[in-house]
Structure formats: C-alpha cells, structure tokens
Chains A and B, each alone.
Chain A
C-alpha cells in the first residue's frame, strides 16, 4: 500500500476549470487518507509544473502520484517521464481523465461534471494506493527483416534496410520481381516505364550481400514474436538448373513446344501464356521460370532446352527474423458482370487491361479486330461506391486514366478521349496532366454518384450516355469504340499472408495501421509492419515513401539487439490454473502456450506476444489470470471508491 500520494489537478487553461470546480475537488481530495499533497495547476504538462512535480516527489518523498488532467492518450508518457526523472517508478503514476470524460462531456451540467471528477479522482487514488512498481520487459532481437513482396515498395525498403546494416530476406510469391509496376508503361512524372524502375531496383539489389531474394516463395507459418520470429517459407521450384544463364533462342523453342496454354494474367488475358514463360524479355531474374502449378511435366521443353530440370522439388526453409515488413500490394478491382456492361458488351475493358493493350499495339490501336478511335473512360468503378463495400477513393485512378488517355492520343492518330467522371481528383503535381489533357481536346463529362453513365448497345454501336451536370444535366451520348472502366485498387484476392501473420484488416479490407497519422506503418502485431498499397490505395511515389518509412521503423525497432516491452501483461497463477484451453482459444495474439509445470499442464503467457488486452481474464473459470497494472485488487478498490 502506498500512503504518500501526491495529487495534481490540472485546469488545462480553461478547458477543465471552466466546468469542473477544481478548488472543491482539491479540498475533498486533500482529506483523503494517504494523500499528503494536493495541488491545482494551470497546465500540468507545462515545463515549470513538471519541474515542480519532480521537486515535490523528491522533497516530500512521495511514493505515488495522481494527475487529474486530459486523456492518457495525450500525456501518459509525458507524466510517466516526470516520475522517472524524480526517481519514482513510472507505474506508480496514475492518470485520471477529467477533461474528455468530465468537463468536455458534461459542459452543460458543471455540477455533475464536478461530482464525476471527484469520484474518478478518488478511484484513481485508490488505484495508486495499490499500484506496484513495475519494470519494462527487455527481449533480445535479431537484426533481420523479412520483406514480403518484391514490388517497387518491397525492393526499395530492402535496399534501405540493407544500407542500414540489416540482414534482409526478400520473399516474392511470383517468379519475377516488380509486382504491378512492371505491368505499366510510361509513368508520370518522369516518363520512365515501370519496367525501367523495376530493373533499376533489381540491379541494385543484387549488389548487396545482405539481401537474399526468394522468388516463387511464400510464408506458410510464423511463430515467435517481435525480435525473434521464426517463419517457414515454402519455395516452389523454377525448374531451371541453378547457375544457368538465359539462352533466349532455346527458351523461345521451349515456349513453342510447351503444350500448356492459358490466359496470360500479366496481360489480363489479352495474350496466351505457356507454363514456361517470361512476362517480358527484360524481366528479372533473367532466367525464365516454369509455373509449378501449371506445368504437367510432359518433358517436351527439356528436349530443346537442356538447362531445364523438371526433377526439382518444392522446399521449405526456416528463417529467423526480428521483424516482418509486408509490401504485398494490391489487385485491380474486378467489375461485376453487367457493371457498366462489363462481360456483357465485348468492348468494355478495365483500365489495367487497356494499359496492357496499348503496350501490345505498336502502330494502330486495335481491340477485337476493331480499330479504336473513340474511347470512353468511366471513372470510379469499384471506388467511392454508394451501395458497394468500397467507400474509399482509390486515389491513383483519375491520374492514371488521364495519363493513359494522353499517351494514347500521342501514340496513335485520330483518337478521341471522353472522360465520364464524378469530379477529377488529380491532386498535387498531377493537376498539370488534367490541364494538358483538356488542352489537347479530351472531353470531360461529369455526373453525380446516384446517376452514373449508362453503357448500352444500339445496333452495332456501343453507346455511353450521361446526364452531364456541366451542361445543365443535358443528356449527352458518345458512340464509343472502346469503353475503359477506370477500376480502383482492392486488397489482394489471394491474401494468405494476412491469416498466417494475423494482420489486422481495416474496414476497407486493406491492412490496418495502428494510427493513421502517428504510427502509419506499424500494426498492432509488434514487429509486423506494412507499407505500400497493401495498406491503402497509393501511387508508386507514395508507396515508396511509406516503404522507406517502414524500413527505418523496422530498423530502429530491431537493430539495437533488444526491445523494451510494456510490463502490463496477463499473468497466470500456476498454482490455480488447470489447463482448460479457454484462454488460449480467445487470445487474438496466440500468446498463451500450453506447458507442463510441476507435474500438471497449465497455461503460460508468452510475454513477447501478449498485448495486455485482457481478453483472457473473464473467460478463466478459476480466476487464475491477472492483468499486471490492472489487477483485481486495483480494479475492485477503484469500484469501491466509485460507488
């Protein structure tokens, strides 16, 4: 029991003092048993007040302090640091929130606000009396990061981490690096192609000794926790003998003889792909790959290309890593059948497919044997949905559609672009593209979300109709040779990594960060970080920015060799516990381990995985679990003070 408690009541300027009678609060609190000092202060967080509190603690030999002020979200660490500076254990400091919970919430009824503040502070004092001095946990960490996804974000993060001296395992599910960026041609603002950017990064990556790249590889399981994850990586064979160089002529022959043919996902079905393939000649790694899932092992290719080895087997390796950085990217939104006549009228395609179509058509733009002159772009398909689940704006699509429209107009003659939009969002520097496209004669038509454009067939023609709000709602129509649905970003359809790592998913179904502004690249799973478009729709610039931020965050987390953890965790009393499995079932972090102890089976908390969420406490039938810092004694004493 602590009995030399100091209580500070903050005015917060006028935020608290205007509604809560702080003087009355001080008088009542001062009479409380165990309280040796009660003060009011204009701003508890002010430098001078902090110094005063330090002095009080030292002079009056206080053994606990209570500060009644704002939310601990704002100043918990500020005030804990006061305790530390004064030589008091920071866990003997208790914060009571009388601003958000009293003065702000009950500004209409100041009397009741004061009463509530009195009760809360008294409860806080009770908790302080029972508070224990705790020490933070320190665990060791390996200076290794597994980066999942070798797209532009992943590769850039890997380079950054490697530069800082961290060992990097770069794990790519596909057989080639580059991700989505390698599918796009010229990019704004530099006019570099996606493939050039990918090539630049790959060529840099192979110069690092501390980056190990796995392709055709996926994480299949994870154990351990921050600083010391053990992950299993399954690597599919490439069926090319190790150390071989690319022999283009033989490779082409092998493609020719391969009997397995299917729609090419890289070109969104515009072309056919064989089991042995390279998506484009300068793709990295240079050697081709044979798709493990598609190959039927007929052996035809081996006859013309002796570097092929169909006897290779998938293997699983174990990697010990301090942190995992996810840069797994996005999938383009796949429109539903009938959405703007998609899958019903044959000249309706997605923007991503259209971009590949431009790549594949050198001189004339032809789709399904039809020369394309009039192109109608329909914006916000799969984004900003009124009824659907995707409420968000995919951010990149306005810019991408306009950029593509300009490319098309410059590449082929006689092109007319019609943009059916819901308001153009070419934010930042991208606005110049919008200006350029309208200056070269692109036509922008706008409608509200509740009356979208209509795509329909009239005889042989495909017509796009709109009630254009820029022309007083007049009904206008365009005969379109091609309708391009400007589809947004959605999370990866095949997203097994989310289950393996238990990554929290946001309402938009993308991976979720802890705090969008203050902790934008961390997840609530310590040591699992996110960057790029697996987190939210981002363009390449923004993805790389977040990748670099995640790289430095990962490095600062694990490179010191040890990690400090909060001691406010669940603790199981081994004398009471009789393994019933209830707590481990409910734990969202897999932090409870079944262990043999003194001849019986009990549950033990893995301190590095536990977050102190308290989910296990109420389910324990024998009440064997206590949450350190919020023990039954502390909580019960608070309740007593409150009633």
Chain B
C-alpha cells in the first residue's frame, strides 16, 4: 500500500523536471527507448511514480541511472511531458537523497548558496596567498598537497558514505538478499562501466557523444594522475610535460564542445540546463584550460611574474574539489557506475537457482 503524494511534483520541478504531469500513460517513451527492457522498463514507470509521488519506490530504484538521455522519448512524447528531462531530474534528486550532508540538495535548489560557496572558496584561496605573501613556491607546494588531501577527504567523508547510503536504499532497505560472492563477481562490471560507460552505446545516435565522454573521462583521470603522482607542474621530464598538455587539452576541447552544445540547445540532452550542469562543464573547461596555461607559463618562464594565473587555477581547482566533486554533478560518474553494479546484483539474484 502506497500513499499518493502530489506535493512531490512541486519538489521535483525544483530539480529541473518540466511538465511531466501532462503524461497520459501512453507508453510511447518506453516503447521508443532502446535501453528499456523487460526487467527495467522505463521511462513511463518513473514518470508514473513521480506523478504519484512514490518517493520510496524511486529511492530504491536504479532505473534513473540506467538512462543515458538520448532524448528520443522527449521527442516522441505526444504530450510534451519531457520524459528525458524527468529522468535527469530524478538523477539530480537521487544524488541529494544519497548525500548524507544534505548540502547537495541545498546547492541544487538555491543557486544563491552555490554562488556564496564559490565566493567563499575563492576568498579562502586569496587569504591563504596573502598569508603566504604570494610566494609562488609555497603556494604551489600547498596546492599540490591540497589535491592529495582533498581527494582523500572527499572520498572518505562524503562519497564513500554516500555510496553506502545508496547501497542501503537499493539493496538493504528493500531486503534484497545478495550473497557476498555476488559482490565480488560484479566488481569487473563496476570497473568496466565506471571507465567505459559502455551502456551509452546502447542509445541510438550516441556513438560520438560516448566517444567524447570516454576520452574526457580518460583525460580527466589521467591528468589527475599526472599532476598528483607525476607532479606535472614540477617535473622536467619532457614525456610527462607533453602528456599533461595532451590531457588538459582534451579536457578543455571536449568541454568547450559540451558548453557550445548546451548553448545551441539543438539536442534533447542539451536543451535544458540547470545551474549544476553549467557549473560542471564550465569548471571542468576552466580546470583543463588554466592547467594548460599554467604549464605554458612555466615553460616560458613567465609564471614567476604572473602568479595570478596560478592563483586563478588554484581557485578553480579548490572549487571543483570542494563543491562540484562532492555535491555537484561529478557524483553522477560514481553513482551511475554503482547503480549499474547494483542492477547486476539484482539481476544475478533473479537468474540464480
């Protein structure tokens, strides 16, 4: 027995859902979706749950993460109920539900808070630089240290607890009994999905988008490795220097294309942009671009006299690491992979004797 909660619609609209109440349950969206299957049929099922406000049903579902937003459902919908954008909004809503701090929800719903957070982090970096008397060497040293610390802290304090919460919602709370051995068996799938996003290829017309996304993820993770472990900004090794250039180049070129397509609004996926979407693509672009420029300034020996360029990069980096990664759209990368992992567990149990 589930109670209907019409107020949920209003809540969901704050996460970007548009006009999904217009749905009259024809099911064209599900019929046209190339990823929907017998076990997990969507998006109509999710629209219905959203209209009825069955929160716990949505919370325990992996379905929103199974959609890669090709947009065909929205194009086909006879009532312009935007099923594609609804699925996107559910993903946004779910990330705030997984987040134990509750900050993601606040930052999603109130853009003012996001702006304040961005300003505070920028001020923090500047104050710190003043404290260090703008000594480039020191600041770069602490910048490097920060990267390492931030990754450790964000993962251990925010992201891992959140994944555990997600596991609780999807597996434990609905009392899905999963033998331990299944968790090990599924790990390969988790890794493959996380690094390849191969399910995207199941969408119609998504090959190029998948390729862009694939090299972006690769470039991003590689740059992370290159700056932290190989110390790109400090190294004299030509191979590492070139590697860093290529990686940061990939990041800002691909994200530039993403920003452009969000501005052009030609595809369904880029028609509706929430602030969180803009922050994600713009900051990632700036991250790659400033890193690239900083290294150029190092190689041309200009950085010593243009310390501001490094400070700008550091501000972007801190904002990225403390706001967008733990509370913003970056988490989709993680949750989606785990959703796929949990879905595999559910399926394995179903087919096991």
The A/B interface has a contact count, at CB < 8 Å, of 50
> Which residues of chain B are near A213, meaning CB under 8 Å?
none
Q: How far, in whole Å, are A441 and B45 apart by their CA atoms in the complex?
A: 17
Q: How far, in whole Å, are A471 and B4 apart by their CA atoms in the complex?
A: 12
* Any A CB within 8 A of the CB of B172: no
Partner of B51, one of A435, A440, A443: A443
* Any B CB within 8 A of the CB of A476: yes
Q: Are A470 and B22 in contact (CB under 8 A)?
A: no
- Chain A residue, CB-CB nearest to B79: A435
* Any A CB within 8 A of the CB of B36: no
* Any A CB within 8 A of the CB of B141: no
Smallest Cβ distance from B167 to chain A, in angstroms?
25
Residue of A418, A435, A471 with highest tally of chain B CB at under 10 A = A471
* Any B CB within 8 A of the CB of A475: yes
> Which residues of chain B are near A471, meaning CB under 8 Å?
48-49, 52, 54
* Any A CB within 8 A of the CB of B301: no
* Any B CB within 8 A of the CB of A479: yes
Known: A438-B21, A438-B23. A443 touches B2 (CB 8 A): no
Q: Are B2 and A475 in contact (CB under 8 A)?
A: yes
> Which residues of chain A are near B52, meaning CB under 8 Å?
443, 468, 471, 476
> Which residues of chain B are near A479, meaning CB under 8 Å?
3
> Which residues of chain A are near B45, meaning CB under 8 Å?
472
Q: 1/0 contact trace for A470-490 toward B, CB 8 Å?
A: 111011111100000000000
- Chain B residue, CB-CB nearest to A464: B4
Smallest Cβ distance from A453 to chain B, in angstroms?
12
Q: Are B2 and A474 in contact (CB under 8 A)?
A: yes
Smallest Cβ distance from A456 to chain B, in angstroms?
12
* Any B CB within 8 A of the CB of A439: yes
In the complex, chain B residues 20-64 whose Cβ is within 8 Å of any chain A Cβ: 21-25, 45, 48-49, 51-52, 54
* Any A CB within 8 A of the CB of B9: yes
Q: How far, in whole Å, are A465 and B79 apart by their CA atoms in the complex?
A: 27
> Which residues of chain A are near B51, meaning CB under 8 Å?
443
* Any A CB within 8 A of the CB of B6: yes
Q: Are B3 and A438 in contact (CB under 8 A)?
A: no
In the complex, chain A residues 308-349 whose Cβ is within 8 Å of any chain B Cβ: none
> Which residues of chain A are near B9, meaning CB under 8 Å?
441
Smallest Cβ distance from A529 to chain B, in angstroms?
40
> Which residues of chain A are near B54, meaning CB under 8 Å?
471
> Which residues of chain A are near B6, meaning CB under 8 Å?
416, 418, 441, 443
Q: How far, in whole Å, are A245 and B19 apart by their CA atoms in the complex?
A: 55
- Chain B residue, CB-CB nearest to A442: B21
> Which residues of chain A are near B1, meaning CB under 8 Å?
465, 475-477
> Which residues of chain A are near B4, meaning CB under 8 Å?
418, 443, 445, 476-478
> Which residues of chain B are near A443, meaning CB under 8 Å?
4, 6, 51-52
Q: 1/0 contact trace for A436-472 toward B, CB 8 Å?
A: 0011111111000000000000000000010010111
> Which residues of chain B are near A465, meaning CB under 8 Å?
1
Q: How far, in whole Å, are A334 and B101 apart by their CA atoms in the complex?
A: 56
In the complex, chain A residues 399-452 whose Cβ is within 8 Å of any chain B Cβ: 416, 418, 434-435, 438-445
Known: A475-B1, A476-B4, A478-B4. A470 touches B48 (CB 8 A): yes
In the complex, chain A residues 177-198 whose Cβ is within 8 Å of any chain B Cβ: none
> Which residues of chain B are near A441, meaning CB under 8 Å?
6, 9-10, 21
Q: How far, in whole Å, are A502 and B2 apart by their CA atoms in the complex?
A: 54
Q: 1/0 contact trace for B1-16 toward A, CB 8 Å?
A: 1111010011000000
Q: 1/0 contact trace for A109-121 toward B, CB 8 Å?
A: 0000000000000
Smallest Cβ distance from B57 to chain A, in angstroms?
9
Q: Are A440 and B2 in contact (CB under 8 A)?
A: no
Q: Are B22 and A478 in contact (CB under 8 A)?
A: no
> Which residues of chain A are near B48, meaning CB under 8 Å?
470-471
Smallest Cβ distance from A465 to chain B, in angstroms?
8
Q: Are A438 and B24 in contact (CB under 8 A)?
A: yes
Q: Are B22 and A477 in contact (CB under 8 A)?
A: no
- Chain B residue, CB-CB nearest to A479: B3
Partner of A439, one of B3, B21, B49: B21
> Which residues of chain B are near A472, meaning CB under 8 Å?
45
Q: Are A470 and B25 in contact (CB under 8 A)?
A: yes
- Chain B residue, CB-CB nearest to A466: B4
Q: How far, in whole Å, are A438 and B25 apart by their CA atoms in the complex?
A: 11
> Which residues of chain B are near A440, meaning CB under 8 Å?
21
Smallest Cβ distance from B14 to chain A, in angstroms?
14
Q: Are B22 and A435 in contact (CB under 8 A)?
A: yes
> Which residues of chain B are near A438, meaning CB under 8 Å?
21-24, 79
Q: How far, in whole Å, are A475 and B51 apart by their CA atoms in the complex?
A: 15
Smallest Cβ distance from B21 to chain A, in angstroms?
5
Smallest Cβ distance from A477 to chain B, in angstroms?
6
Q: Are B19 and A477 in contact (CB under 8 A)?
A: no
Smallest Cβ distance from B19 to chain A, in angstroms?
6
Smallest Cβ distance from B88 to chain A, in angstroms?
20
> Which residues of chain B are near A418, meaning CB under 8 Å?
4, 6
Partner of A477, one of B3, B10, B23, B49: B3
Smallest Cβ distance from A447 to chain B, in angstroms?
13
| Residue ranges of A at the interface with B (Cβ–Cβ < 8 Å) | 416, 418, 434-435, 438-445, 465, 468, 470-472, 474-479
| Interface CB pairs A-B, < 8 A, 20 | A418-B4, A418-B6, A438-B21, A439-B19, A439-B22, A441-B9, A441-B10, A441-B21, A443-B4, A443-B52, A465-B1, A470-B48, A471-B52, A475-B2, A476-B2, A476-B4, A476-B52, A477-B2, A478-B3, A479-B3
| Residue ranges of B at the interface with A (Cβ–Cβ < 8 Å) | 1-4, 6, 9-10, 19, 21-25, 45, 48-49, 51-52, 54, 79
With A440-B21, A444-B24, A477-B3 given, name 20 new contacts (CB 8 A).
A416-B6, A418-B6, A435-B22, A435-B79, A438-B23, A438-B79, A439-B21, A443-B4, A465-B1, A470-B25, A471-B48, A471-B54, A474-B2, A475-B1, A476-B1, A476-B2, A476-B52, A477-B4, A478-B4, A479-B3
